[in-house]
Amino acid sequence: MVSYIVAAAILVAIYVVTYYNFLKGIPCRSDTSLRGKTVIVTGANTGIGKETALDMARRGARVILACRNKERAEAAVFDIRRKSGNNQVIFMHLDLASLKSVRAFAETFLKSEPQLHVLINNAGVGSGNKTVDGYNTVLGVNHLGHFLLTHLLLDRLKQCAPSRIVTVASMMYRFGKIDFSNLNPPGKSFIQQMRNYSCSKLCNILFVRELANCLEGTKVTCYSVHPGVVNTEAFRYMKFWQKMLFFPFVALFFRTPTDGAQMSIYCAVQEGIEKFSGRYFTNCKVQEVLPHARDDAVARKLWEVSERMVGLRSY
């Protein structure tokens, strides 16, 4: 009996050391104030987005929660206001699975809000069927919706420079592949959903890379981030058996949303990282990506193809 207890204690100790040294991640230690600044966080009613918005509010920013679900977003607004003591937290409707909704959000925002200093492209999904525009949901939400949103808000960001754009990517980009002959495959099987997710995250990184080139000299900087492996609702459309399969690993080894938000927060507020515009960050430091994620020719072509897909460029 004693040997079992000792073995269990050793396993717990190993787990604790492993989690806090390798899995939990590094917190953002910047105390930068955001008073007088306006921040948009997409998908801010839950998970990483909500924790990011809460931190922005605690720093004094006016925070726009850009979310699809009104009821959940308004509950998040109430909670963030209560915890931060900042009443400058509001909800605006945004459904990234609808390009029409993205345009409507941008129009409403630009008419009602005179400033924008930080855009955090946080919202994301790991599975789903099709958007109203006919794209697979993962590509539509994770890449195309944010691609269009960023374009529509760029002038306001330039007017309020220095300003920043932070896009939540993932280390899953490693398994992504850009196939321009089939950029919008269906996501019916679990394996195809994982491929689509990896591709969308590679798109995020390539988009930010090309965006930095376009923004050179404007004092608007942009960054892609890997938040770590986080327990969020990104894979909420998974089937029940898939969730049950993942649950033990999620419970034991995934970061909390608070820990996962640290990279978005870091790239939104940390001073001195402007020279790394267009780069990929993880654990509060810049990290070199694999060659296929820094291919400038692919990044440029993806930009042009994405412009056509969202209606910014004619065929």
- CB burial of 131-163 (b: ≥16 within 10 Å; e: otherwise) equals bebebbbbbbbbbbbbbbbbbbbbebbeebeeb
The reported pLDDT for the residue numbered 84 is 97
The catalytic residue among 197, 223, 266, 280 is 197
The reported pLDDT for the residue numbered 255 is 60
Residue 61 inside a domain? The answer is: yes
197 flagged as catalytic: yes
The reported pLDDT for the residue numbered 310 is 96
Residue 230 inside a domain? The answer is: yes
The reported pLDDT for the residue numbered 251 is 47
**Residues 77, 79: Cα–Cα separation, whole Å:** 5
| Contact in structure between 259 and 314 (CB atoms under 8 Å) | no
Query: How many independent structural domains does the chain possess?
Result: 1
Neighbours of 218 (CB within 10 A): 14
The reported pLDDT for the residue numbered 243 is 52
Residue 315 inside a domain? The answer is: no
Residue 46 inside a domain? The answer is: yes
Domain interval for residue 194: 2-310
Residue 181 inside a domain? The answer is: yes
DSSP-assigned letter for residue 230? B
Query: What is the largest distance, in Å, between two alpha-carbon atoms of the chain?
Result: 73
| Contact in structure between 300 and 210 (CB atoms under 8 Å) | yes
DSSP-assigned letter for residue 130? B
The reported pLDDT for the residue numbered 194 is 87
Over its length of 315 residues, how does the chain's per-residue pLDDT go in tens digits?
Answer: 656 554 444 443 443 334 443 445 688 899 999 999 999 999 999 999 999 999 999 999 999 999 999 999 999 999 999 999 999 999 999 999 999 999 999 999 999 999 999 999 999 988 778 899 999 999 999 999 999 999 999 999 999 999 999 999 999 999 999 999 888 887 677 788 889 999 999 999 999 999 999 999 999 999 999 987 545 554 555 555 555 555 545 444 556 888 989 999 999 999 999 999 999 999 999 999 999 999 999 999 999 999 999 999 765
Enter the pTM of the model.
0.86
| Contact in structure between 208 and 222 (CB atoms under 8 Å) | yes
Q: Residue 107's domain is classified under what CATH number?
A: 3.40.50.720
Preceding amide of 162 cis, omega within 30:
yes
